[in-house]
Structure 1
Amino acid sequence: MTGHLSIGVDATTWWNKRGFGRFTRGQLGAMLDDPRGHRFVLFVDQEPVDEMIRPNVDIVRVETSATVTDSAVADGSRSVGDLLSFRREASSRPLDVFWFPAVYSWYPVSGRIPTVVTFHDAIAEHFTRLVLPTLRGRLFWNLKVWLAKRSARHIATVSEAAREEIVRYLHIPRRKISVILEAADEQFHPITDEQELRAARSNLGLPLDRRLLLYVGGLAPHKNLAGLIEGFARAIGNGGLDDLDLVLAGDPKGGGFHSNVEELRALIAEHGLEDRVHFPGFVPEPVLPALYSGAVAVAMPAFSEGFGLPAAEAIACGTPVIATEGGAVSEVVGRAGLFFDPRNPDDIAEAIAKIAGDPALLAHLKMECLPRAAELSWSHSASAMMDLLEAHARGRA
């Protein structure tokens, strides 16, 4: 390909505290390092961060009544005025292609600009009432998704499992969807310094003298944390795991998304596990590598995941994963994990007992972690996305 492109990017998801934000920071950050010479125009609704300030980047600050991270959430909606402000700014630029890192922050742009939208999954369609419990939230979400998929030149997603879910529940032709895997940031690597490991726990109010089974992510119904708690209760009830605690790390308010944390607390109390299950709240990214590294394993029990970024981060830190069988996380971790039926608490309990009660198995799984993690990289993901944007740029598709 000859000639440089002007690539518009909705960068509002940079500030999201969940997986959307980590995906945007990882993939877009690597794309800005790509040496192809294209120019990026980032549309933001907050003050740009230092990582965005580069010679090949123009930043357009759009004035809005509320930021995307506050308004484009489960029970909220963005104002028409804010959507029109973004449309006006994006449509007035001489862009060759436009990329949305997540459909949740989508807004309309001029039909003359080809768009590529990353759909991370179709969980909201697959498990609608678990993700969008209110009729108002479902109506706004369905309208946004319908408009986004109808106007997009092409769709990107983050795993083969996600693509199959999108084909089934969003009825988008498979040929219109490209899979581009995610990765863990470079900060995720094994931490062996005992002082750093202890400091991470201490700062989060976690016990220093216990082994930890760790969950990191949203505290939402579709994440199946109730199933994980039930499986944990059965595993420790069977004996031999007296030194094992469960940590559910995530924003208890849901970060704007639906949360069922009170139901989880009630279930914990029902089992008498108040001193064995911990809620440290949202964990800042710089603390996560030490938290992952000090855990026995990371649990990913969701009924569905688009990718499962915490799983990639865990294995990059040398920590194996127990997860839902047959889904995206099994793609991510490969031989570095054990898998279970998420609807069967006994199956979850068995996976917990195996990984926490069999030192030889745990050592074997740990050996599989780093080789698998090395196969995933943001630079590879960014290169694939750049290829996709070039292929669908105006006049080139």
Structure 2
Amino acid sequence: MKLKVGILSLADPMSGGIYQYTLSLLEAFSNYSSRKYELIQIRLPYFPKILEKDIVIYQDKKNIFLKIKRLIFQQFGIKIGDILGSYNHSELKDIDLIISPTISGLPLYIQKPFIMSIYDFQHKYYPSFFTIKERIIREITFSVGKKANMLICESLFVKRDIEKFLKIPEEKIRVIQSPPPKYIQKTNISIYEINNVKNKYDLPEKYIFYPAQFWFHKNHIRLLKAITLLRDKFNTIIPLILVGSKKNNFDNVMKTIRQLNLENQVKYLGYIPDEDMPCLYKLSTALVMPTLFESVSMPIWEAFYLGVPVLSSNVCALPEQVGDAGLLFDPYNIDDIADKIYKIWIDEKLRAELVKKGYDRIKNLTLENYAKQWENIIEGALNE
């Protein structure tokens, strides 16, 4: 009898990178699994069904244990669902191993061996970006990782942080890169599709592209000031296209656009359906990633895959990810951001060189290889 491996699918589609990460994992298993294990998708109702077998879990409002816990955590303004996930777990009793692509207390609560992915420890570096409630939740949920059979991360930077903050031995941590989701890996994008997206969003002939949620650490404000500098001091107009769901810094970003008189230069498109994203990349002159903190950036992999030059901040794991396939800048230095944007904007030869290096950097980052790596990880975790 095959061992049953459950893959948690709890991320909100509006959550950005974590949702894309989960999607890539499920698509890798769906298309390239060796069928050595029985794979079961454990999903919330809003998460799309990817695997052939799935279990849909719902909130369990009658669980007495959770009611007691809820009363305790309410004293701190924390919902128990933020910690454990108040779901009905009865259908999960036959699962042999849980894979949790999101940081969650659910695997620990249902008392099954589990593998957990950890993205970053941003709250340790920038506590001011989080409320007290958010920091408490992160401390508690991250500590669940200490009980995992194996922890997964996407960079050596995060691996070192796991060892430092969770005191996890090196042999229990694996670094494995997640490839772009399947909808990005579309090789036959037609001119018709590209023109349709261009007309749909009324896009300019050239623009830089920043797909990111509007969190404080995404550093939209300095990016806006950089293109303002290019406009005012160097008479160079750089159109900027922003996409992403409205998070806690959205209103401030929109206010800054108005204050800097960028309404005709910066366009916010909102949340974009998956099928339009490849064309938005392909139509852009470059991807810009000015974030103040990032473990690994999925948009950078997506840009490499779709042949788009990359501009990136030089923080955390991004130099490790980008290598020589992009231009790096100091995300705190507006002059440096502006300088790198200008270089890539005017130099077609440089853009072509970076595109080639990007392809070389991502050529082995495939869903097939990803599935093989994960099956090796599963085997190692089950032998713990």
Fold match (TM-score > 0.5) = yes
1:149: which partner in 2? Answer: 145
More moved, 16-25 vs 3-12? 3-12
1:69: which partner in 2? Answer: none
Match among 142, 153, 157 for residue 161 of structure 1? 157
1:185 aligns with 2:185: no
Q: 1:104 to 1:18 in 2, by over 3 A?
A: farther
Deviation at 1:246, TM superposition (A): 0.9
CA contact (8 A) 1:190 1:318 kept: no
CA contact (8 A) 1:315 1:333 kept: no
CA contact (8 A) 1:227 1:343 kept: yes
1:64: which partner in 2? Answer: 59
2:27: which partner in 1? Answer: 29
1:293-349 Cα shifts (integer Å, max 9, x gaps): 110110111112121001111111100110011533333333321001111111111
CA contact (8 A) 1:106 1:144 kept: no
Q: Distance in 2 between matches of 1:97 and 1:348?
A: 45
Q: 1:62 to 1:191 in 2, by over 3 A?
A: closer
SS at match of 1:335: coil
2:85: which partner in 1? Answer: 83
2:128: which partner in 1? Answer: 129
1:370: which partner in 2? Answer: 359
1:292 aligns with 2:289: no
Match among 210, 216, 225 for residue 215 of structure 1? 210
Deviation at 1:230, TM superposition (A): 1.8
Q: Distance in 1 between matches of 2:181 and 2:82?
A: 35
More moved, 361-370 vs 278-287? 361-370
More moved, 383-392 vs 78-87? 78-87
More moved, 352-361 vs 156-165? 156-165
1:265-312 Cα shifts (integer Å, max 9, x gaps): 222222221211111111111101110011011011111212100111
Deviation at 1:168, TM superposition (A): 3.8
1:241-284 Cα shifts (integer Å, max 9, x gaps): 33x201111112x3xxxx20111122222222121111111111
Q: 1:282 to 1:363 in 2, by over 3 A?
A: same
Q: Distance in 1 between matches of 2:11 and 2:82?
A: 19
SS at match of 1:247: strand
Q: Distance in 2 between matches of 1:76 and 1:229?
A: 35
SS at match of 1:26: helix
1:76-135 Cα shifts (integer Å, max 9, x gaps): 745499835345443x22x33211011057453444x321100011123322321x2x22
Q: 1:377 to 1:81 in 2, by over 3 A?
A: closer
CA contact (8 A) 2:83 2:140 kept: no
1:227: which partner in 2? Answer: 222
1:334 aligns with 2:323: yes
2:115: which partner in 1? Answer: 116
Match among 208, 231, 239 for residue 234 of structure 2? 239
CA contact (8 A) 2:300 2:310 kept: yes
Give RMSD over aligned pairs: 2.6
Counterpart of 1:85, as a letter, is Y
User: Number of paired residues?
Assistant: 367
1:71: which partner in 2? Answer: none
CA contact (8 A) 1:214 1:292 kept: yes
For residues 227-376 of structure 1, what are the structure 2 equivalents within 5 Å?
A: 227-239=222-234, 241-242=236-237, 244-252=238-246, 254=247, 259-376=248-365
What TM-score does the superposition give when structure 1 sets the normalisation length?
0.84
Q: Distance in 2 between matches of 1:63 and 1:192?
A: 38
Q: 1:190 to 1:359 in 2, by over 3 A?
A: farther
Deviation at 1:145, TM superposition (A): 1.8
Counterpart of 1:245, as a letter, is P
Counterpart of 2:151, as a letter, is I
1:98 aligns with 2:104: no
SS at match of 1:83: coil
SS at match of 2:239: strand
Q: Distance in 2 between matches of 1:384 and 1:8?
A: 17
Deviation at 1:139, TM superposition (A): 1.9
CA contact (8 A) 2:12 2:19 kept: yes
Q: 1:47 to 1:136 in 2, by over 3 A?
A: closer
Gaps of 5+ in 1: 67-74
1:43: which partner in 2? Answer: 42
Q: 1:349 to 1:184 in 2, by over 3 A?
A: same
Deviation at 1:151, TM superposition (A): 1.9
CA contact (8 A) 1:192 1:293 kept: no
Q: 1:266 to 1:359 in 2, by over 3 A?
A: same
Counterpart of 1:185, as a letter, is P
SS at match of 1:161: helix
Q: 1:311 to 1:191 in 2, by over 3 A?
A: farther
Q: 1:161 to 1:268 in 2, by over 3 A?
A: same
Q: Distance in 2 between matches of 1:142 and 1:324?
A: 27
1:183-211 Cα shifts (integer Å, max 9, x gaps): 1234335777444323213323x433x41
CA contact (8 A) 2:281 2:306 kept: yes
Q: Distance in 1 between matches of 2:88 and 2:161?
A: 30
1:203: which partner in 2? Answer: 200
Name the % identity: 22
Deviation at 1:382, TM superposition (A): 2.2
Q: Distance in 1 between matches of 2:345 and 2:104?
A: 37
Q: 1:321 to 1:106 in 2, by over 3 A?
A: farther
SS at match of 1:336: coil
SS at match of 2:108: coil
Counterpart of 1:102, as a letter, is T
